């Protein structure tokens, strides 16, 4: 982003395009450089962008270099400058004090060569795929966790609701986040193995599901970030978006409370300028119904019949190689999760293997 785009994003959560129209844009997409890089660029008007192996992947033309106002960026994006915000610590605090923007000329699609590139479909490729499948509705579900049967219930129930509304062929976009996540989140490669098992085991129907990696990093910036998540799915061809409690939220890094109000994400999405084309589907709470032995929608009138299995509880069970209650997650998917946590167990030499 150039400085004008950066400031519009920070202060208006939107961008005014050349034709005068306004699009939602709540999270800045910027590239930081340090003093030495700025000196090397000098009076140049274009720079090459390289991958981790120094291969040129893009050219930034007609460049503009401007100050990186870190405190302002953090305050406007997260609503706090409290220490301990994961993405801030990862990508902003120690980043360069300058930002460089310009006209981006991409030379070839970015490849990670990690065995997952077949899942990295661009928005245009996703729209083509939905067209090939004759989708008349596309509903998107973002997640950064393994899929359990509660998630699957939400997705299959959404498809049922869309069919009842008169749509003939609703297609699910299962769009796991593929960029930076917190250290205690399951890595992308293992999540993708787990998602494949969910489809193999028939928990989700491969005929009506498209799995693609959403390459964005996770900011954990609550209602601000969830607008970016929604806008990106519009670009990918979705017209329905499933939103849960406290989307993109996290616990306060200093105080013992949530950083954001749990309902503000879906409220903001329902009002956000530029997102009018997207129908927001608040999802119902699913929990393990002990009387049925499966995940079901929570019924407050018989609350004692339900068991809430938190992410922490799920991780504890997987680490200890214990099975969750039957019907919580498909066996193939659970096996992948157990294998991941088993891979973190120190070997005889005391070293923890690097996850594949």
| Predicted local confidence at residue 213, as pLDDT | 98
Mean pLDDT on 88-98:
97
Please indicate whether residue 349 or residue 28 has the higher confidence score (pLDDT): 28
Q: Which helix (H) or strand (E) holds 338?
A: helix 331-343
Measured distance CA(339)–CA(249) in Å, rounded: 28
Reported as a pLDDT band with limits 50, 70 and 90, residue 66 is very high
In tens, the pLDDT along 157-188 reads 999 999 999 999 999 999 999 999 998 899 99
Reported as a single tens digit per residue, the pLDDT across 313-348 is: 998 999 999 999 999 999 999 999 999 999 997 755
Average pLDDT, the chain: 94
Q: Is the pLDDT of residue 14 over 60?
A: yes
Give the model confidence (pLDDT) of 238-267 as tens digits.
999 999 888 999 999 999 999 999 999 999
Confidence grade of residue 49 (pLDDT, cut at 50, 70, 90): very high
Q: Would you say residue 353 has pLDDT above 70?
A: no
> Residue 102 pLDDT more than 90?
yes
pLDDT(352) > 60: no
pLDDT score, position 32: 98
- Provide the sign of the torsion angle of the four alpha carbons 20, 25, 28, 29, taken in this order: negative
Whether residue 355 has pLDDT greater than 60: no
Res 247: pLDDT? 92
> Cβ(48)–Cβ(56) under 8 Å?
yes
- DSSP H/E element including 268: helix 264-271
pLDDT of 125 > 80? The answer is yes
Q: How far apart are the first and last CA of the chain?
A: 33
Is the pLDDT at 356 greater than 80? The verdict is no
Q: What's the mean pLDDT in 79-95?
A: 97
SS3 state of residue 199: helix
Positive or negative CA dihedral for 260, 261, 266, 270?
negative
Question: What pLDDT digit, counting tens, does each position of 197-223 carry?
Answer: 999 999 999 999 999 999 999 999 999
Instruction: Answer yes or no: is pLDDT of 224 > 90.
Output: yes
Is pTM beyond 0.85? Reply is: yes
What CA–CA distance (Å, rounded) separates 356 from 281? Answer: 35
């Amino acid at each position: 982003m150039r400085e004008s785009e950066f400031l519009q994003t920070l202060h208006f959560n939107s961008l005014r395009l050349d034709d005068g129209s306004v699009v939602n844009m709540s999270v800045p997409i910027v590239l930081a450089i340090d003093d030495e890089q700025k000196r090397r660029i000098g009076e140049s008007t274009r720079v090459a962008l390289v991958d981790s192996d120094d291969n040129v992947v893009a050219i930034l033309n007609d460049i503009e270099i401007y100050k990186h106002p870190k405190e302002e960026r953090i305050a406007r994006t997260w609503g706090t400058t409290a220490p301990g915000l994961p993405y801030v610590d990862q990508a902003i605090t120690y980043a360069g004090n300058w930002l460089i923007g310009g006209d981006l000329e991409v030379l070839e699609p970015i490849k990670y060569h990690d065995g997952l590139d077949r899942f990295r479909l661009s928005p245009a490729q996703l729209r083509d795929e939905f067209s090939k499948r004759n989708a008349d509705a596309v509903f998107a579900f973002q997640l950064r966790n393994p899929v359990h049967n509660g998630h699957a219930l939400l997705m299959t129930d959404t498809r049922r609701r869309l069919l009842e509304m008169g749509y003939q062929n609703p297609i699910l976009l299962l769009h796991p986040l593929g960029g930076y996540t917190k250290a205690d989140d399951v890595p992308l490669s293992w999540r993708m193995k787990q998602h494949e098992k969910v489809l193999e085991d028939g928990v989700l129907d491969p005929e009506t599901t498209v799995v693609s990696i959403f390459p964005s990093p996770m900011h954990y910036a609550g209602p601000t970030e969830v607008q970016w998540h929604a806008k990106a799915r519009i670009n990918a061809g979705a017209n329905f978006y499933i939103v849960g409690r406290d989307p993109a939220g996290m616990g306060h890094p200093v105080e013992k409370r949530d950083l954001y109000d749990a309902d503000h994400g879906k409220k903001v999405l329902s009002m956000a300028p530029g997102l009018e084309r997207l129908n927001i589907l608040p999802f119902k709470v699913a929990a393990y119904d002990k009387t049925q032995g499966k995940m079901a929608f929570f019924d407050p009138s018989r609350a004692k019949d339900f068991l809430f299995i938190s992410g922490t509880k799920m991780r504890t069970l997987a680490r200890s190689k214990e099975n969750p209650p039957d019907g919580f997650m498909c066996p193939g998917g659970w096996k992948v999760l157990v294998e991941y946590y088993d891979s973190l167990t120190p070997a005889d030499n005391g070293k923890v293997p690097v996850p594949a």
